[in-house]
Amino acid sequence: MVFQDQMHSTLHPNLVKKYGDHIAVDHLSLTVEPGKIYGLLGPNGAGKSTIIKSIAGLLRYTGQIRINGILSKELEAKRIFGYVPEIPAMFDALTVREHIEYMKMAYSSDITEEEVNALLERFELQDKQDKMGSELSKGMMQKVSICCALAVKPRVILFDEPMVGLDPQAIKELKEVILELKRQQVTVLISTHMLEMVEELWDIMYVMKKGKIIGSYRKEEVGNKDLDDLFFEMTGGE
């Protein structure tokens, strides 16, 4: 798997992840470009989250993932991507703002106080910035997780089912943020089984089934064809 900042890259089909005898990701081949929004679509158990977690360095796997030519496990690569997990994890003893400050320090981000305030306001967290992690609802934790990923000022950002648990206003804001990232030439990778959440966002869609990418679509090639129809056409409704 290759993420390239300046040019299109090739990838050898060599990413494999097993759980015992079960192959969760089966010789995956994937190349992504800057300024594009990629969707990983598939039913539960297709391997979408496993791919995202592998890129984020949370799982061991066979093969290579490179970001701008750098192995994703290297610190230099980790500093240029953000990750929003499906299930957000907070430090109980840190406040909302301290979570963002922690990410700023850990990633040596140059995000300013004004930009942090703007993020908090955008996701309606400004009046909750002093709340502890242990006091947050699932939806608020998801918002904090998104803010933390954006605070890194990533060149690549990974979203794993990012809209689960968000209220309608937060979903609207997140979609706008994703489109802004695209305009800033950030590579966006979204894993989801909720087709309607990415309907107006995607540029390139990979469809997964049983650990394999069984096909892909480019939006400019399919025109206004409904994403549901494309998905079920490829998966046979499974």
Q: What does the pLDDT look like over 69-96, one tens digit per residue?
A: 777 677 777 778 899 998 888 999 999 9
**Residue 36 is encoded by which pair of tokens?**
């594009």
The residue ranking higher by pLDDT, 32 or 13, is: 32
The verdict on residue 131 lying in a domain is yes
The verdict on residue 167 lying in a domain is no
Selection from 4, 3, 13 nearest residue 52 by Cα = 3
**Residue 46 is encoded by which pair of tokens?**
């297709």
Mean per-residue pLDDT of the chain: 82
pLDDT for 190 beyond 70: yes
User: How many structural domains comprise the chain?
Assistant: 1
**How far, in Å, CA of 218 to CA of 60, rounded?**
30
pLDDT for 144 beyond 90: yes
Interval 197-233: pLDDT, tens: 788 898 998 887 777 777 788 888 887 777 777 777 7
The verdict on residue 118 lying in a domain is yes
Looking at the chain, the whole-number percentage of residues with pLDDT higher than 70 is 83
**How far, in Å, CA of 24 to CA of 145, rounded?**
26
Q: Global pTM?
A: 0.84
Give the residue numbers spanning the domain of 122.
90-153
Interval 153-164: pLDDT, tens: 998 899 998 988
